Amino acid sequence: MVIPAENIVNETSNSSRVANNMLHRTREKKYKSQSEFRFVFITKSNMEIMDDGFKWRKYGKKVIKNSPNPRNYFKCSNDGCNVKKRVERDREDPRYVITTYEGVHNHESPNYVVNCNNQMPTHEWTLHQPSSLSFSSASVL
């Protein structure tokens, strides 16, 4: 590590301050940026990994302390997309799967592109307001 000449001083109080300042700068680099998005979904499911429309590459698996279930790590397989996904079972109730996404995709879902090509023409469907249901009295035998 190279310390700039203006930060080198002879006094012990100032030198410890400079050392603490350098240590603080080193620690700052380890933290993730505040602008990164994180989404968490908790889903009741028997399946460990559910299809969310994107393609993922598994890059790790870790045993979690105080949890009987491991955590799986995935990266988006699209070139240039830095989204990561963590999947694990809830340690208190293993019926639930906790999926954590870090980042935002910079591309459309592959399933979205396929579905856009197979869209139904708009003239074949219409939206209707729900009508109030009328019930007639009927006798039950």
- Report yes or no on whether pTM surpasses 0.75: no
Long-range contacts of 107-111 (CB under 8 A, 24+ apart): 107/78, 107/81, 109/53, 109/54, 110/53, 110/54, 110/55, 111/53
Block residue for tokens 């979690």:
64
Instruction: Give the whole-angstrom CA distance, residue 137 versus residue 118.
Output: 45
Tell me if 51 sits within 8 A of 58, measured CB to CB: no
Helix (H) or strand (E) holding 1: none
Instruction: Give the whole-angstrom CA distance, residue 115 versus residue 28.
Output: 43
Written as tens digits, the pLDDT of the chain (141 aa) is 444 444 434 444 444 444 444 444 444 444 455 457 899 999 999 887 788 889 999 999 999 898 899 999 999 999 999 999 999 999 999 999 999 999 999 988 877 655 555 555 545 444 444 544 444 444 444
pLDDT score at 54: 92
